[in-house]
């Protein structure tokens, strides 16, 4: 039996933010040897920045201060939505007689 496909494993090195890691090892199934590796610390700056978006979005890095900042920003977005709905649903004040008669 001959296998042609390779398997890829994700590894997490110290200093990587992503919970599953971004370092990969490609393994040849016929020999169980490592065929290729990709070190997440050696990637170009743009790709490393892109890979940092998920952990920031998921709030899985930063400690308790970042957790509080994420919670407060979520509450601010909910409050902004509430104020927008309130402004849309409230009836506008009618004009006074004096301002209506001058126009």
Instruction: Name the pTM for this structure.
Output: 0.53
Cα 51 to Cα 43: distance, rounded to the nearest angstrom? 10
Q: Which domain holds residue 42?
A: 1-61
Average pLDDT over residues 38-56: 87
Tell me what pLDDT residue 57 has. Answer: 78
Pairing of strands 23-28, 33-38: antiparallel
81 with 47, same domain: the answer is no
- State yes or no: pLDDT of 2 exceeds 70: no
How much is the pLDDT for 92?
78
- 74 and 54 co-located in one domain: no
Q: Where does the pLDDT of residue 82 fall: very low under 50, low under 70, confident under 90, or very high at 90 and above?
A: very high
pLDDT band at 98 (very low <50, low <70, confident <90, very high): low
- DSSP letters along 6-32, please? -EEEEE--TT--STT-SEEEEEETTTT
Q: Is residue 103 in some structural domain?
A: no
- Do residues 7 and 42 both lie within one domain? yes
For residue 47, is it within any domain? yes
Both tokens of 44, joined, read 């170009």
**pLDDT reported for residue 80:** 97
Average pLDDT over residues 10-19: 88
51 part of a folded domain? yes
């Amino acid at each position: 039996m001959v296998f042609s496909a390779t398997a890829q494993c994700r590894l997490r090195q110290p200093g990587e933010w992503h919970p599953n890691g971004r370092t990969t090892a490609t393994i040849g199934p016929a020999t169980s040897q490592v065929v290729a590796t990709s070190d997440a610390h050696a990637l170009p700056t743009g790709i490393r920045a892109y890979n940092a978006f998920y952990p920031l979005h998921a709030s899985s890095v930063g400690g308790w201060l970042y957790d509080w900042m994420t919670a407060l920003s979520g509450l601010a977005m909910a409050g902004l939505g509430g104020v927008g709905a309130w402004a849309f649903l409230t009836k506008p004040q009618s004009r006074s007689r004096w301002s209506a008669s001058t126009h």
